[in-house]
Amino acid sequence: MSDPFSFDDADQPAPRRPRDDEDLTYRPKEGGLASRAQAHITAARGVDYLGVLNPEQRAAVEAMDGPVLVLAGAGTGKTRVLTTRIAHTLATNRARAQEILAVTFTNTAAREMKERIAVLAGPAGEGMPWLGTFHSISTKILRRHAELVGLKSSFTILDTDDQIRLMKQVIKAEDIDEKRWPARALAQQIDSWKNRGLDPSRVPAGEAAAFANGKGAKLYKLYQDRLKTLNAADFGDLLLEAVRLFRENPDVLRQYQERFRYILVDEYQDTNTIQYLWLRLLAQPSGAKQQQNVCCVGDDDQSIYGWRGAEVDNILRFEKDFPGAVVVRLERNYRSTGHILAAAAHLIAHNEGRLGKTLFTDGVDGEKPTVTGVWDSEEEARIVGEEIEQLQRKGQSLDEVAILVRASFQMREFEERFITLGMPYRVIGGPRFYERAEIRDALAYLRCVTQPADDLAFERIANTPKRGLGDATLQQVQVYARTQNIPMIQAARMLCETDELKPKPRATLRDLTSAFARWSTLVENTPHHEVAQTILEESGYTDMWQKDRTAEAAGRLENLKELVRSMEEFPDMASFLEHVSLVMDADAKGGGERVSIMTLHAAKGLEFETVFLPGWEEGLFPHQRSLDESGRAGLEEERRLAYVGITRAKRRAKIIFATNRRIHGMWQTTIPSRFLDELPTAHVEVVEAPGGNYGGYQQSRFASMDTYESSYSTPGWQRAQQRRKEEPPRGGFQESAKQWGQGDWTRAGKGDTGRGPKLIEGELVAKSSAVSGYTKGARVFHLKFGNGTVVLVDGNKLTVEFDKAGRKMVLESFVQGI
């Protein structure tokens, strides 16, 4: 990342650019001769960078004028298009690096783009000061115009933790029962308002009323007021305030509209409303920019962040929003083998409301994705371990193997298994470096020194390490600070001059405030990482961990060292702090080959030779809560998640479902995910769990395998196939949803509308039209639940009212007629 404080030349009006047909005009600016020469060299190399593209990619790169939407399926060279497009813009002298706005969602994506542009465009692409995340770019803009939105340029960025602590204070101050109305819930609500671009005055009355007996909007307002007093912004504010800045200050907006001659957006399907508004404002033509030169790249089939405000609709609506848009589809896949792609494509075809793409490859068919049924999650971990060992023997690098789970609790079983096996692994997406307590404490110290108004930081470390400043004392300081309307540190200092405090806390507090005063002067004339070191030592913070005899203490000290070390890479304390709050991530790399374990969400954008996809069971995947809360839309998002999972695999995709899984400590019988039913038989192989004898489990384990095989090859299944050909499928989604509503394992959500699940030829398991060996009213016996009466038949799934166990949905093969 470039120095966030380097505003490049943005303070001056953007220089008039030559028109495109005057491209060779000499521009005495930014690197002068050198960069001009470079531009020509790059242009000369143009044959290269365009030549390596396929026709669609090339079209996406060369459509330079006006809005462009690139629908880039998984593994079709999306990043290549984006980076080449930037290189092309530079090489053809359409814009200079600082006139291109390129937005990503994650810092990782931003970093990767920078690296690749550097390779493609050389020095001409250096800097790219406006390549970054929505948040980092907004921050940069806000710092320059902070006073226009009621902040100072040095404002602090609060993370979720600070946000919730502040929210708690607000809730408490309003005398609201924290139990009934948890701060976390309010924080989430406010976040979602901010995601939708709603400031306190615009919150819909109904939603505002839903929290704390109608106090929702009021609390939001109070929270925002507190943020301003603290000279702070939370993540949501960065975007919301930027949009407000643009709306209320047309002159400022114009400045940026003119500057950003070309705009690129990555992962457009993940944009939420406020990001969309932000983008719309900046993309407006203005000054020398005649049209909306905006290029959005995304894949509606990989939209998996609806639950945090992403609006798939943004991408679906693109052509309406940006009239005259050129739409380019990238469907040629360079990642996966044929069977894998076919399976993924078939699965995702069950979604409605897609823009519609079909991935294809010129490569080999390769291995078919496999589906394996196992008895329980323990066996699941065991066979995955065994298969990885086998692959390893065949020379597969562990770095090329990943386990992608739906929910993080699934990871534990794999970790435990791998520890016993001595199989090296890494968990991706665990607690981040800067979220660790010791790092946050250390940062709080630094924030107090550089930002005297940062009360949250002060409260955090006032009594860390323990120095005898308890709630009572801090309460006093806080009250004093509020009444005087001054920061707490200052209030503390002043209180020490009075005799309102008891002698002991008074002395402690005085020591602390004078220490802070001393450290503040230190910042002026000492390298910042040395200051940090000094503060951590003098405050007794390092000591605290050294005395700590718990297992983690050593690691924490190590982290603190790493923190100080990493500071050296930054020019000053302020830029360091900014990076920590916005940019810093802690991908623990290196240390030899490892299997990666992560959630499906975390896997987006990555690829592996071999991918294991465990836990494909109803309730877990698709996740029950998604179905409950978002109905059909939720189901479709889950399906996209499945699609993302399969398309991560280059050569091997191994899907697994367990018949029993422990959820909240209780063993539950599960049934295979409906997504399994939606895989195409021609491209998927159903395999038996390897490893032979599993003792007492065997019978049941085979019961589950039987089911699987039988739904595939039994007369019943074949009849169903036949019938499907003869008559159109009956029972739309609403009907099945109604039926499901009676089962205890899934309920139809409110959002259910429209047509039914598509029935597509040649799927693994027949749907509602399948013929079951049982009919309504039949008495059956189940190994686990005992006797019961069939109340509903849906293909090979039965809903049974058990005499003892109540109503359950089970697979037909699990019961016997009695």
Partner DNA sequence: GATGGGCAAGTTTTT
Partner DNA sequence: CTTGCCCATC
Which residues in the 375-404 window bind DNA by CB under 7 A? none
Residue from the set 204, 285, 356, 470 that interacts with DNA by CB under 7 A: 470
Binding mask 489-508 toward DNA (x if CB under 7 A, else -) reads ----------------x---
Residue from the set 623, 654, 674, 701 that interacts with DNA by CB under 7 A: 623
Which residues in the 297-356 window bind DNA by CB under 7 A? 307-308
Q: Among 779, 725, 812, 642, which Cα is nearest to 302's?
A: 642
Active-site annotation holds for 79: yes
Active-site annotation holds for 302: yes
Which lies closer to DNA via its Cβ, residue 122 or residue 197? 197
Select from 24-32, 286-294, 460-468, 588-596 the region that touches DNA (CB under 7 A): 460-468
Q: Among 69, 136, 140, which Cα is nearest to 105's?
A: 136
Q: Does 589 bind DNA (CB under 7 A)?
A: no
Q: Does 510 bind DNA (CB under 7 A)?
A: no
Integer Cα distance of 292 and 280 in angstroms:
9
Q: Which amino acid is at 13?
A: P
Look at residue 166 and give its three-state secondary structure. Answer: helix
Burial (Cβ within 10 Å: 0-12, 13-18, ≥19) of residue 158: buried
Residue from 258, 266, 270, 300 carrying the catalytic annotation: 266
One-character DSSP codes across 728-786? PPP--HHHHHHHHTTSSS----TT--S--PPP-TTBSS--TTSPPS--TT-EEEETTTE
Active-site annotation holds for 417: no
The DSSP call for residue 691 is: S
Quick one: tokens of 766? 């027949």
Residue from the set 130, 235, 480, 717 that interacts with DNA by CB under 7 A: 235
Look at residue 68 and give its three-state secondary structure. Answer: strand
Residue from 79, 188, 370, 721 carrying the catalytic annotation: 79
Residue from the set 135, 426, 594, 632 that interacts with DNA by CB under 7 A: 135
Select from 221-229, 283-291, 588-596, 619-627 the region that touches DNA (CB under 7 A): 619-627
Residue from 36, 78, 196, 701 carrying the catalytic annotation: 78
Active-site annotation holds for 267: yes
Cβ of residue 473: shortest distance to DNA, in angstroms? 5
Q: Does 668 bind DNA (CB under 7 A)?
A: no
| List of residues 6+ apart from 673 with CB closer than 8 A | 616, 617, 618, 620, 621, 622, 657
Cβ of residue 136: shortest distance to DNA, in angstroms? 6
Residue from the set 471, 497, 524, 727 that interacts with DNA by CB under 7 A: 471
Active-site annotation holds for 648: yes
Integer Cα distance of 412 and 409 in angstroms:
6
Which residues in the 400-459 window bind DNA by CB under 7 A? 406-409, 429, 432
Which lies closer to DNA via its Cβ, residue 656 or residue 798? 656
Q: What long-range pairs does 218-221 form, CB within 8 A, spacing at least 24?
A: 218/174, 219/167, 219/170, 219/171, 219/174, 219/176, 219/186, 220/190, 220/193
Quick one: tokens of 276? 């969309």
Number of Cβ within a 10 Å radius of residue 774: 16
Residue from 84, 156, 302, 473 carrying the catalytic annotation: 302
Quick one: tokens of 696? 């007492």
Which lies closer to DNA via its Cβ, residue 330 or residue 427? 427
Q: Does 625 bind DNA (CB under 7 A)?
A: yes
Burial (Cβ within 10 Å: 0-12, 13-18, ≥19) of residue 105: buried
Q: Does 548 bind DNA (CB under 7 A)?
A: no
Which lies closer to DNA via its Cβ, residue 393 or residue 664? 664
Residue 360 φ then ψ, to 5°: -140, 165
Q: Does 172 bind DNA (CB under 7 A)?
A: no
Q: Among 193, 217, 403, 387, which Cα is nearest to 309's?
A: 193
Q: Does 358 bind DNA (CB under 7 A)?
A: no
Cβ of residue 121: shortest distance to DNA, in angstroms? 24
The DSSP call for residue 231 is: T
In the complex, the residues that contact DNA under the rule CB under 7 A are 105-108, 133, 135-136, 159-160, 168, 178-179, 235-236, 307-308, 406-409, 429, 432, 463, 466, 468-473, 505, 582, 585, 598-599, 601-602, 623, 625-626, 629, 662, 664-665
Catalytic residue set: 78-79, 266-267, 302, 648
